[in-house]
Structure 1
Amino acid sequence: MAAKTSRQPLSRERVLAAAVALADVEGIQALTMRRLAGDLGVEAMSLYHHLPAKEALLDGVVDTVIAEIDAAVGRLFANGDGEDWRTRLRGQFLAARQIMVRHPWMPGLLGSRRAIPAGLYTYYDGIVGTLLNAGFSHHLAHRAVHAFGSLPLGFAQEVFSPAAGASMEADVAAADLAAMAEALPHLTAMVATEMHDGSDPTLGWCDSQLEFEFTLDLLLDGLERLRGLGPSRS
């Protein structure tokens, strides 16, 4: 008599891991309960025991990626107690970016959530702690967090936000640059100059790797200058 094949038990963690993998391959738009159930080899109703609705699934996917960032940062700082604050935060933000580049749909999904994921409070608390331990006042640390914006999560908010799945380069390529130049000469010249090539990983028009690091270094250097001025000047 042949032995029965044992099926891997379904769990919330397994469902979310499969959801992230599906989004990585086909984009977040492809993530549906029915499609996810098919990938897992179960009926769609089985998923509702672990995630009661599509929004709960998307919230769980966000939490899963944030946990990836936490893990990456934890590995980075396992033996990094002697680093100065700029080196520490720069490494942290770039580690987060590596996660985002692996999941390029994540910035858009994160921005669509109704509530701030709980894990982000702990994450940002650590950033504020790094600043305070370096001698920043609470006032300047608050300003720093606002100035960083989404950089601690590995991406930069775009000035212009094309439709989901589109890119500024594709939009501009489809338009007549010569016609645009007459009405928008400076913007058109900038766009034509700043088209990104495939060697510079990008999460959006205003968020290539080089631009991300430029902005990050500019902020860190500026904050170091303000820190040196003391509380009365910052």
Structure 2
Amino acid sequence: MTQLAEAATRIPLNRERVLLAAVVLADEAGLESLSMRRLAQELGVVPMALYKHVANKEELLDGMVDAIIGEIDPPIPDAHWKSAVRTRVLSARSALLRHPWARPVVESRTNATPVVLGYMNEFVGIFLAGGFSADLTHHVMHALGSRMWGFTQEVFDDSAGQDGNGEAIVTTEARAAMARQMAESYPNLFQIAMAAAHDDESVVGHGCDDQFEFEFALDVLLDGFERLHERNWKSGG
């Protein structure tokens, strides 16, 4: 962080530098540590200097989301729509995994910035260029939902029994007892829980391989979109 302050004495402050410093601060100290005062301190300026570039904390967060979108690979020219969408979604996921604070910020945004609208417009453009009708593309975007940003809400919460850093706080014996109780009380859930391999290095901790599950669901959606497109599907028809 001292490097940011040292650089601030040599390079004039601008919006891009403010947003970059905010992203770095959130990465290193967590979103809860991000404040206009703390950010100004890291940049070596007085807090009022920041307000020339961002009006308030909400605009700062909007700009940080824009900065993350800037890390996502651009659409692949002349690529097949399916591979183009898959590549871009997985690039978005990589960006969010680099910045764990970004997901709740994306979910909390109520006003779409020009950068956000441009990103969504490019996604729509991939489908339209692939021959999708505007009607089908409308429904496709609903189905794709938050996956275009690189995340989705999981049906199973694998974070239970972990501390804030994803480390297990439940002993092996306790975990075995929990498994026995689930087998007795919720046999159907237990059956599917034991049906697939699990990844101890998953970013959500001990539990399902979240990257595999994300890509599995994405591929199911893309395959479904492709079938509907080939059938010239129309809503209400």
Regarding TM over 0.5, the answer is yes
- Code of the residue aligned with 1:73 in structure 2: it is P
Count of residue pairs brought into register by the alignment:
218
Output aligned runs, 1:168-187, within 5 Å. Answer: 168=160, 170=162, 174=170, 177=178, 178-179=180-181, 182-187=184-189
2:230 is matched with 228
Q: Within 5 A, what are the aligned runs for 1:17-96?
A: 17-69=20-72, 72-74=73-75, 77=76, 80-81=77-78, 83-96=79-92
CA contact (8 A) 2:199 2:208 kept: no
Q: Deviations over 1:72-101 (max 9, x none)?
A: 225xx2xx31x2111111111111112111
Answer yes or no: is 1:147 the counterpart of 2:143: yes
Shift of 1:179: 4.5
| Cα-Cα RMSD | 3.1
SS of the counterpart of 1:116?
coil
Q: 1:90 to 1:45 in 2, by over 3 A?
A: same
2:221 match: 219
Shift of 1:31: 0.9
- Taking the TM superposition and a 5 Å limit, the aligned residue runs for 1:197-208 are 197-198=200-201, 200-201=202-203, 208=210
Calculate the TM-score normalised by the size of structure 1. 0.78
Larger RCO: 1 or 2 (CA < 8 Å, sep 6+) = 1
User: What's the CA shift string for 1:75-131, capped at 9, x where partnerless?
Assistant: xx2xx31x2111111111111112111112111111112223332222222222221
Q: Is the 8 A contact 1:100 1:107 kept in 2?
A: yes
2:3 — aligned with what? none
2:124 corresponds to which of 117, 121, 128:
128
Q: Percent identity?
A: 44
Structure 2 gaps of 5+ residues are: 1-7
**What is the TM-score normalised by the length of structure 2?**
0.77
